[in-house]
């Protein structure tokens, strides 16, 4: 039976990936900071799907936590066939007035961990001539709006470049770029999302289903939802200065006192 490792596994898109992979009969390695939630989810998956589930509590901000996950991915005796780099969080502050330590912690999870975990997993996949890396990016990658957008732009470009580098090896790479999705992400970041129109919201299960459809079709980039395909197409066509101006005004409104 094949094995998948998912970071940020206990909620939102990560949990949807875990459930889909368990349903597809993958054994699982679940990574999250919350050992209690990991244990509960693991028990639920074992009972519902009869798969083997390993829990790996780790904080990807820290060298120790990231290193533990790297070591698991590099273990040739317990190969990982699918890596889902999903862990992430946002910082609800303008860059010029926010805490730079918070910004750096975010970058360590969104960028550094993605780079290091992928680097740990891919050599073994290449040796075995098969494997999948799914890097969860965001529509924000196409709309300049602070450090989070910059980090997700890196994830998207990194994934596309790596996919080209691995062509012919049997290892596939997908950048998954969802828009607003019903998860715990926004609440944890302290963001008031009440103004977002209902048609812009996606369901985590639908996002994951679109990711697997994209992999089946051999795509490297997946933007779930027709509405977001249109938004991304327009963002790519519009002058960079105009996109940046619009997104900066939206961000400024979001950080007014009555919005927080």
Q: Which domains does the chain have, with CATH numbers?
A: 3-259 (3.40.50.720)
Q: What is the pLDDT along the chain (260 residues), one digit of tens a residue?
A: 799 999 999 999 999 999 999 999 999 999 999 999 999 999 999 999 999 999 999 999 999 999 999 999 999 999 999 999 999 887 767 767 777 888 999 999 999 999 999 999 999 999 999 999 999 999 999 988 789 999 999 999 999 999 999 999 999 999 999 988 866 544 454 444 556 667 677 999 999 999 999 999 999 999 998 988 998 988 878 665 434 434 444 444 443 332 22
Q: What is the pTM of this model?
A: 0.86
| pLDDT of 94 | 74
pLDDT of residue 240: 54
pLDDT score for 258: 27
What pLDDT digit, counting tens, does each position of 199-247 carry? 677 999 999 999 999 999 999 999 998 988 998 988 878 665 434 434 4
**Largest distance between two CA atoms of the chain:** 55
Q: What was the pLDDT predicted at 89?
A: 81
Give CA–CA dist 23/84, Å, rounded. Answer: 16
Q: Which of 110, 229, 128 is nearest to 172 (CA)?
A: 128
Strands (DSSP E) along the chain, which ranges?
3-7, 27-32, 53-57, 82-85, 131-136, 171-176, 221-222
Residue 256 has what pLDDT? 32
pLDDT at 257: 30
Closest CA to 121 of 38, 39, 31, 249: 31
148 as an active site residue: the answer is: yes
* C-alpha dist (Å) from residue 19 to 71, 80, 210: 24, 17, 15
Residue 197 has a pLDDT of: 63
Catalytic-role residue among 26, 49, 148, 228 = 148
């Amino acid at each position: 039976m094949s094995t998948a490792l998912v970071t940020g596994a206990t909620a939102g898109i990560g949990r949807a990936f875990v459930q889909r992979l368990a349903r597809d009969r993958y054994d699982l390695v679940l990574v999250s900071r919350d050992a209690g939630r990991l244990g509960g989810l693991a028990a639920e998956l074992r009972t519902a799907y009869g798969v083997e589930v390993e829990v790996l509590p780790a904080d990807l901000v820290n060298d120790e936590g990231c290193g533990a996950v790297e070591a698991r991915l590099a273990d040739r005796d317990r190969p990982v066939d699918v890596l889902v780099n999903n862990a992430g969080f946002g910082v609800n502050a303008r860059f010029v007035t926010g805490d730079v330590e918070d910004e750096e912690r975010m970058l360590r999870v969104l960028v550094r961990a993605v780079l290091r975990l992928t680097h740990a997993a891919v050599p073994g996949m290449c040796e075995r001539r098969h494997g999948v890396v799914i890097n969860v990016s965001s529509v924000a990658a196409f709309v300049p709006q602070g450090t989070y957008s910059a980090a997700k732009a890196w994830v998207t470009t990194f994934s596309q470049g790596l996919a080209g580098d691995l062509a012919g090896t049997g290892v596939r790479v997908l950048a998954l770029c969802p828009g607003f999705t019903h998860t715990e992400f926004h609440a944890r970041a302290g963001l008031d999302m009440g103004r977002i129109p209902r048609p812009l919201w996606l369901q985590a299960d639908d996002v994951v289903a679109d990711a697997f459809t994209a992999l089946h079709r051999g795509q490297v980039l997946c933007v779930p939802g027709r509405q977001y395909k249109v938004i991304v197409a327009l963002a790519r066509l519009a002058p960079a200065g105009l996109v940046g101006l619009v997104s900066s005004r939206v961000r400024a409104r979001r950080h007014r006192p009555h919005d927080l």
